[in-house]
Structure 1
Amino acid sequence: MGEPLRVGIVGAGAISGQYLATFERLETVRLVAVADRDAARSAAVAQRQGVRALTVDELVADPEVDLVVNLTVPAAHADVALRAIAAGKDVYGEKPLAATLADARAVLDAADAAGVRVGCAPDTVLGTGVQTARRAIDDGLVGTPVAATATMVTPGHERWHPDPDFYYQPGGGPLLDMGPYYVTALVTLLGPVESVVGAASHTRGTRTIGSGPRAGQTVPVAVDTHVTGVLRHASGALSTLVMSFDAVATRASSIEVHGEAGSLVVPDPNQFDGDVRLHELGGEWRLLPVSAGYRDAGRGIGVADLAATPDGELPRASGDLAHHVLEVMTALLSSAESGAAVAVESRCAVPPPVPLT
């Protein structure tokens, strides 16, 4: 009791820097080890952080590691998580929970059997942006929610990422890469989803890397790169989703929520903060004051939230929520392939709101 949660990071790639910066500011979390399939990369990170560089096997077995932070590529998420769970460790992973729904279910079942906890990004929804919007909805400022829109448009991550291959392989694409931010926010704001209708396409079979030592090389595209659909929430609200690696730009709000009494602009769910604006019936657009969420949060705040969650309760960025979000996304892809509506079988509890912290 009162001791920080000791974490080991598996995967020392680009995203790890944001987690490391957050962990340095947290008193409840302490980094003790780093592992990566590239031993030189993990050694460099470990030296900078003043911790041990280990192999993955060594890290998941290490008695000084309480929780494994899994920052590997999506195709490796389930394998690393299952190895950590088998060693009796709690796990917190980058999104998606796994590359397939079956693998995600296997992770949760193994964790239940082992009596360990699973958390999963995105934890951006715990910041002041989405949480202030949620408080506005919970307080009835838009009345009964009727609909929402969620839009993400970019010409593709290969323009800036030096190793973008995984974005265009199974487990990637705009929906499974960026969709978790948007779908998790929609579930946080409007509750779980019961069915979806989707459509999808792709514009070209290869992508050209635009930066780094591999600039000019091409990578194959094995996934749809433009996905759109409608989510029917169990509450009755309908959300329209557009996720694209094919288009150039948009002026649409990242998320808007519309109710009988007002409309709400929700900031980018890939960020932790941002302006929340409300237009009430008969009124004008106005900026809402920050009223909920973790202030000045960064990637990894979900680990601190897990550390503060009492035993027997789900953390806010839980594996159950991530599993439901993954099922929503895979159902959209199935619907796009079949042309028919697809039911979402899982349900998840809406995480409790985050008070202004």
Structure 2
Amino acid sequence: MGHPHRLGIVGLGNISAAYLDTLADSAQIRITAVADLDTARARTLADRLPHARALSVSELVASDEVDTVLNLTIPAAHAEIALAAIGHGKNVYGEKPLAARMADAREIVAAALAAGVGLGSAPDTVLGTGLQTARHAIDDGLIGRPLAASAVMVTAGHERWHPSPDFYYQSGGGPLLDMGPYYVAALVHLLGPVRSVTGAASRLRGTRTITQGPRAGAVIPVDVDTHITGVLEHDSGALSTITTSFDGAATDAAPLEVHGENGTLSVPDPNRFDGETRFFELGATQWRPLPTAAGYLDSARGIGLLDFIAAGPDRAARANGDIALHSLDVMTSLLQSAAEGRRLELTTTTERPLAVPLTAREVWSQRE
């Protein structure tokens, strides 16, 4: 895709700082343009970056100085920005989910294919040492045939820490579409694609009160379900259960476990890049930690984009559009299943991405 790869960033909210920590001084990347609805914020960031200009969104997606658009807007804007960039022949890598609606996500994938451009999407936490060490153990046969998995995410809601949490409770938000991508992508990396889902959902209350920042005390409406649980049937025959909730105070459950005929893996939080993978062997009396065996060491937000840029004809990007589309299909089908009270067959599938070999930071970061 060219070296250094010219990057334009749309959306400079909270998550952009994490990406910049990884990308700003990478020899693989040159940030040439930034855009945000807050033009002053865009100008301030551009002044900090040696090669960047502050542009409008329409100028950025059309710029001849941009190879790939990094789309860090809110979910409701993901499709509009992605399609505009693809329309100008740009590769697109975006925050999760791929789009707020499945129809929009399909349009993005089709447009990228027709234009012959690359499409990638977060989450990229699945490429860190935590999840990849667990996958290495599964692929090596440590737990025998994988039979089942459980994924659990329970919080009291983002209004307790985020200064502007409105979009988490609007269409395209909610705990499943917000946090579920981490868990669903992890399950796909570990156990392969999903063929059917059965879901149930509820909503604790119709409003939320912001507790932090300049809008503390403001009451916002809740337009989505805030507790979703479901069963995922993988092509392999393994069954996964998933719970995502903004309606609980906390949980002591493991964020992710995989059960096989010879033992169980306790997998680190899939919203993190690292963490300890533990193994409880059938017949044992205690857990034992597994040594780090795979994944990008010391990685952070943006590693998926670097992997995306490094991909080529011999290797597909690991955080690619097909996985993002399939993950969204899993989640939107779970919501539809909950609404209709029936099991649903999925209409997409994906290839299980290539595993990540253990890769040192100095190799993947290529700092200037």
Partners of 2:37 and 2:227 in 1: CA distance: 31
Taking the TM superposition and a 5 Å limit, the aligned residue runs for 1:132-147 are 132-147=133-148
Per-residue deviation, 1:30: 2.0
Partners of 1:4 and 1:187 in 2: CA distance: 31
Please name the residue that 1:176 is paired with: 177
Please name the residue that 1:189 is paired with: 190
TM-score (norm 2): 0.95
Per-residue deviation, 1:312: 7.0
How many residues align structurally?
357
| Unmatched runs of 5 consecutive residues or more in structure 2 | 360-368
CA contact (8 A) 1:335 1:342 kept: yes
Please name the residue that 1:339 is paired with: 341
Please name the residue that 1:314 is paired with: 316
Matched, 1:251 2:252: yes
Q: What letter matches 1:36 in structure 2?
A: D
Matched, 1:23 2:26: no
Per-residue deviation, 1:276: 0.2
Per-residue deviation, 1:154: 0.3
Per-residue deviation, 1:37: 1.3
Indicate the SS of the match to 2:14.
coil
Please name the residue that 1:5 is paired with: 5
Per-residue deviation, 1:333: 0.3
CA contact (8 A) 1:26 1:304 kept: no
Stretch moving more, 231-240 or 19-28? 19-28
Matched, 1:354 2:356: yes
Per-residue deviation, 1:47: 1.7
Indicate the SS of the match to 1:130.
helix
Partners of 2:172 and 2:249 in 1: CA distance: 23
Indicate the SS of the match to 1:353.
coil
Per-residue deviation, 1:313: 4.5
Per-residue deviation, 1:343: 0.6
Please name the residue that 1:240 is paired with: 241
Instruction: Write out per-residue CA displacement over residues 75-107 of structure 1, whole angstroms, 9 at most, x where no aligned residue.
Output: 000000000000000000000000000000000
| Unmatched runs of 5 consecutive residues or more in structure 1 | none
Indicate the SS of the match to 2:44.
helix
Partners of 2:203 and 2:49 in 1: CA distance: 41
Per-residue deviation, 1:63: 0.9
Per-residue deviation, 1:345: 1.5
Matched, 1:115 2:124: no
Instruction: Write out per-residue CA displacement over residues 200-223 of structure 1, whole angstroms, 9 at most, x where no aligned residue.
Output: 000111111111111110110000
Partners of 2:27 and 2:192 in 1: CA distance: 32
Partners of 2:306 and 2:15 in 1: CA distance: 17
Partners of 1:312 and 1:143 in 2: CA distance: 30
Matched, 1:76 2:89: no
TM-score (norm 1): 0.98
Q: What letter matches 1:303 in structure 2?
A: L
Per-residue deviation, 1:140: 0.4
Partners of 1:300 and 1:261 in 2: CA distance: 35
Per-residue deviation, 1:128: 0.3
Taking the TM superposition and a 5 Å limit, the aligned residue runs for 1:290-309 are 290-309=292-311
Q: What letter matches 1:17 in structure 2?
A: A
Partners of 1:278 and 1:159 in 2: CA distance: 34
Per-residue deviation, 1:24: 2.7
Stretch moving more, 320-329 or 44-53? 44-53
Indicate the SS of the match to 1:248.
coil
Per-residue deviation, 1:33: 1.2
Please name the residue that 2:217 is paired with: 216
Please name the residue that 1:41 is paired with: 41
Indicate the SS of the match to 1:79.
helix
Q: What letter matches 1:8 in structure 2?
A: G
Instruction: Write out per-residue CA displacement over residues 116-147 of structure 1, whole angstroms, 9 at most, x where no aligned residue.
Output: 01000000000000000000000000100011
Q: What letter matches 1:134 in structure 2?
A: R
Taking the TM superposition and a 5 Å limit, the aligned residue runs for 1:56-71 are 56-71=57-72
Please name the residue that 2:365 is paired with: none
Partners of 1:89 and 1:58 in 2: CA distance: 13
Please name the residue that 2:364 is paired with: none
Please name the residue that 2:329 is paired with: 327
Give structure 1 regions of 4+ aligned residues with deviation exceeding 4 angstroms.
none
Partners of 1:274 and 1:352 in 2: CA distance: 21
Partners of 1:13 and 1:87 in 2: CA distance: 24
Partners of 1:65 and 1:193 in 2: CA distance: 35
Instruction: Write out per-residue CA displacement over residues 140-191 of structure 1, whole angstroms, 9 at most, x where no aligned residue.
Output: 0010001100000000001110010000001000000000000000010000
Indicate the SS of the match to 1:15.
helix
* Superposition RMSD in Å: 1.0
Please name the residue that 1:95 is paired with: 96
Partners of 1:119 and 1:24 in 2: CA distance: 19
Per-residue deviation, 1:282: 2.0
Please name the residue that 2:366 is paired with: none
Partners of 1:206 and 1:3 in 2: CA distance: 48
Partners of 1:340 and 1:239 in 2: CA distance: 17
Partners of 2:2 and 2:302 in 1: CA distance: 19
Please name the residue that 2:161 is paired with: 160
Partners of 1:80 and 1:243 in 2: CA distance: 28
Please name the residue that 2:363 is paired with: none
CA contact (8 A) 2:24 2:49 kept: no
